[in-house]
């Protein structure tokens, strides 16, 4: 397992980007890094409950601290989005 330093949480090299189709002011939210996963979950998420939401927040923090890879946080975000009824679109660069 590759360890990532806390300072790398804003990097996107190993993060496959995705688009969250949110309701409200910010209709489409591009997520390309752990930082943006955290921002989506903490700032833009429509609810602060749900089993997958709580798991995604914890997984994101674990990834930011380098305990697990960024792709685990991405997968947790997708599961939380499914739980909340938020469509997710894969983005090809």
pLDDT in tens, the chain (93 residues): 444 444 455 556 668 899 999 877 668 999 999 999 999 999 989 988 899 999 999 999 999 999 999 999 999 999 999 999 999 998 876
CA 7, CA 45: separation in Å to the nearest integer? 24
Number of domains forming the structure of the chain:
1
Q: Is residue 25 one of the residues assigned to a domain? A: yes
Is residue 2 in some structural domain? no
Residue at 69 is within a domain: yes
CA distance 53 to 51: 5
What's this model's pTM, rounded to 2 decimal places? 0.84
Domain that holds residue 34: 15-90
How many C-beta atoms surround the C-beta of residue 80 within 10 A?
27
């Amino acid at each position: 397992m590759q360890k990532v330093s806390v300072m790398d949480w804003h990097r996107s090299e190993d993060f496959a980007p995705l688009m969250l189709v949110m309701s409200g002011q910010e209709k489409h939210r591009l997520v390309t890094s752990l930082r943006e996963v955290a921002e989506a979950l903490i700032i833009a998420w429509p609810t602060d409950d749900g089993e997958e939401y709580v798991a995604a927040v914890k997984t994101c923090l674990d990834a930011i601290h380098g305990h697990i890879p960024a792709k685990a946080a991405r997968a947790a975000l997708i599961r939380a989005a499914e739980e909340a009824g938020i469509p997710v679109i894969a983005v090809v660069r």
